[in-house]
A and B are shown apart, each in its own frame.
Chain A
Amino acid sequence: MHRDPNLYDYWPYRDRPKIVWPGGKKLAFWVAPNIEFYEFDPPPNPSRKPWPRPNPDIVPYSLRDYGNRVGHWRLMEAMDECGVRGSISLSIAMLDHHPEIIEACVARDWEFFSHGVYNTRYSYGMSEEQERAVLEDSIRSVEQATGRRIRGYLAPALTHTEKTMDLLAEYGFWYTCDLFQDDQPQPIKVKSGKLISMPYSLEVNDTITYGTYAMSPRAYADALMRHFDQLLAEGDESGTVMCIPLHPYQVAHPHRLAPFREALRYITGHRDDVWVTTAREIAEFYNANCYDQTLADIERRGLARPGSGFSGAAA
């Protein structure tokens, strides 16, 4: 085990080279619905229990199924109204379980990225071969179902190994949503290839806000709007990224959807300054226009450290 992952270099927020998003926009805004499948009777993983109670844990299991029966359709309608294409954090097995949801997302030109096969199969303890199998399954299955090549990753249930980032780069992924160190993308130090961290968020993630922080639906909507106002103001100096990670089984309940929709209307009502986009498009733009200037700035400031993730790190 390492004291520091060495996946990126320390890079102060002040005086960074300016990012200007396409069209002169100050903030890149994306929404990440986690369209997930949790298993009724998942196998054990020694590092993490899949459910708080013994299998079958009826209420949390069925609440997640609620997302795929009810919640998805309600959330998708709110996003349609606001002209937001989702960047889907997809449990890959959803392609098999709920093709009706996949078809609706393809029809809207939403982006898919991998969130593992099931959100009840954790990466902890996986061999490199097993982790490769998950990535290969993800690429192949989405390509077969939608004809598209995925470029992003969020580890299933945010479970990682030391090899995850190197493998992502090797398999041609452009971005990872697993790292929370910044409000702008940043190059990740992988053994070979090119990978960036895409600002996702745990702080405005509906699971965290409703659950861990116990925010009321209206308090969550207020938090989203304040979060947006601040990042938009800072985007004047250098373009920022705001992501709202969602779960249809959380945000789309009858007591929660309307306040959230108000926040989404507010944010997308600022299109003069806001690039309403997908993670893939942000990554594509960043790699073409900002990647090199970031590395050069880190180098110039004397902040570049040797090695790559989980190797060569100065303690």
Chain B
Amino acid sequence: MPLPDDYLVYPHRAKGPDHDRYDASPYRERPPIALPGGAKLGVWVTVLVEFFPLNPSGKPFKAPGGMQTPYPDLRHYTTRDYGNRVGIYRILKVLNDLGVKANFAVQGAVAERYPVLIRDIVGDGHEICANGWDTDSLHYTGLDPAVERTYIADTLNAIEAASGARPTGWISPARAESFDTPDYLAEAGIAWFGDWAHDDLPTAFRTKSGTMTALPLSNELDDWQILIEYKRPEEEWVLQVTDAAALLRAEADRFGPQILSMVVRPYVTGQPYRIAPFKQSLKTALAQPDARAVTADGILGMAG
């Protein structure tokens, strides 16, 4: 099929990215950031706390981890639920053992269904941020803007009701956005979000309602990517986290403090055979000189 003439028209062919959210910026040319306690390597753990409906619409695509077999997919539903019942308490224990405070990115549906879990997370001193309503309430272009705003408001309301505090951080379900999601998030009072993977450091992100901070939430090192998508054994995951920590720590001496982001899912990392490797990788990263655990609020408070 022939292509239209305008297939070779390039409306955004100009300096910088082809959107107006941020400018080009080689990371080595920026002023160094500061991290809490003068840390050189901030180890930022984010736990995704998701709800997977048994009857997903799959629109506009099926979220990673969603139901796979014909209805009723009890096998995947209960495996994901295992994460929120058992696995997450294993992760909490590791974090307590190591004295690590983390971010728990909670979906509104989880806050509504399991408020006791939210109280336990808060009780352990962790920081809550929002992860959208559920894994079948995806943000995408074509979704009615009113519906998208409702997803955001319902999520923040449900988390506030369960935790007593309104979240100021956000990660979209499946890290999926419409063209306008950042504008709606800023409008709803969100200060930072973690959907974009364009940097290793926090960056300013323009919206119609002011500037948000895009935090460098890892995609390539996260448990789903390495253990499920790439099917690597746990010991390789540990090595990769170890190598990443060493490289970032070395760069910190030259370019200022760096952030190592680790993203885990309770139904993946919270399995009995994976929890010790998780603890091992966390310990190894924290063993770098001047490394310490950081949360999003800690990064933002000092990053300006």
A contact residues vs B (CB 8 Å cutoff)? 37, 39-41, 43, 45-47, 52-56, 58-59, 62-63, 65-66, 68-70, 72-73, 93, 96-101, 117-118, 121, 125-127, 130, 133-134, 210, 214, 216-218, 253-259
Contact assessment for B198 and A73 in the assembled complex, using a CB-CB cutoff below 8 Å:
no
The A-contacting residues of B in range 155-175, CB under 8 angstroms, are 172, 175
Contact assessment for B26 and A127 in the assembled complex, using a CB-CB cutoff below 8 Å:
no
Given contacts A47-B1, A255-B240, A259-B243, contact A69 B25 (CB under 8 A): yes
A70 to B25, CA, bound (A): 9
A256 to B226, CA, bound (A): 13
Which residues of B have CB within 8 Å of A126?
Answer: 3, 7
B200 close to A (CB within 8 Å): yes
Contact assessment for A97 and B13 in the assembled complex, using a CB-CB cutoff below 8 Å:
yes
Given contacts A127-B2, A258-B243, contact A100 B219 (CB under 8 A): no
With A214-B230, A217-B243 already in contact, 18 other A-B pairs whose C-beta atoms are closer than 8 Å = A37-B18, A53-B140, A54-B61, A56-B177, A56-B178, A65-B198, A70-B200, A73-B26, A97-B15, A97-B18, A98-B16, A118-B10, A216-B230, A216-B236, A216-B239, A216-B240, A254-B244, A255-B243
Contact assessment for A96 and B240 in the assembled complex, using a CB-CB cutoff below 8 Å:
no
Contact residues of B: prevailing secondary structure: loop
Q: Which of A40, A45, A72, A117 contacts B17 (CB 8 A)?
A: A40
Q: What is the CB-to-nearest-CB distance from B202 to chain A, in angstroms, rounded to a whole number? A: 13
Q: What is the CB-to-nearest-CB distance from B116 to chain A, in angstroms, rounded to a whole number? A: 32
A45 to B6, CA, bound (A): 12
B75 close to A (CB within 8 Å): no
A107 to B15, CA, bound (A): 20
Contact assessment for A59 and B14 in the assembled complex, using a CB-CB cutoff below 8 Å:
no
Contact assessment for B244 and A121 in the assembled complex, using a CB-CB cutoff below 8 Å:
no
B89 close to A (CB within 8 Å): no
Q: What is the CB-to-nearest-CB distance from A207 to chain B, in angstroms, rounded to a whole number? A: 13
Q: Binary interface profile of B, 214-253, with partner A (CB < 8 Å = 1, else 0)?
A: 0000011100000001111000100111011111100000
The residue on A at minimum CB distance from B175 is A59
Which residues of A have CB within 8 Å of B114?
Answer: none
Contact assessment for A125 and B24 in the assembled complex, using a CB-CB cutoff below 8 Å:
no
Q: Binary interface profile of B, 24-40, with partner A (CB < 8 Å = 1, else 0)?
A: 11111000000000000
B8 close to A (CB within 8 Å): yes
Contact assessment for A59 and B16 in the assembled complex, using a CB-CB cutoff below 8 Å:
no
Contact assessment for A58 and B1 in the assembled complex, using a CB-CB cutoff below 8 Å:
no
Contact assessment for A58 and B195 in the assembled complex, using a CB-CB cutoff below 8 Å:
yes
Which residues of A have CB within 8 Å of B10?
Answer: 93, 117-118
Contact assessment for B17 and A130 in the assembled complex, using a CB-CB cutoff below 8 Å:
no
B197 close to A (CB within 8 Å): yes
Q: What is the CB-to-nearest-CB distance from B286 to chain A, in angstroms, rounded to a whole number? A: 16
B78 close to A (CB within 8 Å): no
Q: Which of B14, B25, B197 contacts A63 (CB 8 A)?
A: B197
Number of interface residues of B (CB under 8 A): 55
Which residues of A have CB within 8 Å of B241?
Answer: 255
Q: What is the CB-to-nearest-CB distance from A241 to chain B, in angstroms, rounded to a whole number? A: 29
Which residues of B have CB within 8 Å of A73?
Answer: 26-28
Contact assessment for B198 and A55 in the assembled complex, using a CB-CB cutoff below 8 Å:
no
A47 to B244, CA, bound (A): 38
Which residues of A have CB within 8 Å of B140?
Answer: 53-54
B179 close to A (CB within 8 Å): yes
Given contacts A40-B19, A43-B6, A117-B10, contact A62 B196 (CB under 8 A): yes
Q: Which of B2, B10, B175, B198 has the most CB of A within 10 A?
A: B198
B141 close to A (CB within 8 Å): yes
Q: Which of A46, A68, A72, A98 contacts B1 (CB 8 A)?
A: A46
Given contacts A63-B198, A216-B232, contact A93 B24 (CB under 8 A): no
Q: What is the CB-to-nearest-CB distance from A267 to chain B, in angstroms, rounded to a whole number? A: 20
Q: What is the CB-to-nearest-CB distance from A164 to chain B, in angstroms, rounded to a whole number? A: 15
The residue on B at minimum CB distance from A52 is B61
Contact assessment for B197 and A66 in the assembled complex, using a CB-CB cutoff below 8 Å:
yes
Contact assessment for A125 and B1 in the assembled complex, using a CB-CB cutoff below 8 Å:
yes
Q: Which of B176, B231, B243 contacts A53 (CB 8 A)?
A: B176
B260 close to A (CB within 8 Å): yes
Sample of 13 A–B contacts (CB below 8 Å): A40-B12, A45-B7, A55-B179, A62-B197, A65-B198, A69-B198, A97-B16, A126-B7, A210-B230, A217-B240, A218-B236, A254-B243, A256-B243
Contact assessment for A255 and B3 in the assembled complex, using a CB-CB cutoff below 8 Å:
no
Contact assessment for A99 and B195 in the assembled complex, using a CB-CB cutoff below 8 Å:
no
Q: Which of B141, B229, B243, B247 contacts A56 (CB 8 A)?
A: B141
A54 to B179, CA, bound (A): 10
The residue on A at minimum CB distance from B245 is A254
B60 close to A (CB within 8 Å): yes
Which residues of B have CB within 8 Å of A66?
Answer: 197-200
A258 to B250, CA, bound (A): 11
Q: What is the CB-to-nearest-CB distance from A105 to chain B, in angstroms, rounded to a whole number? A: 13
Contact assessment for B24 and A100 in the assembled complex, using a CB-CB cutoff below 8 Å:
yes
B142 close to A (CB within 8 Å): yes
Contact assessment for A54 and B260 in the assembled complex, using a CB-CB cutoff below 8 Å:
no
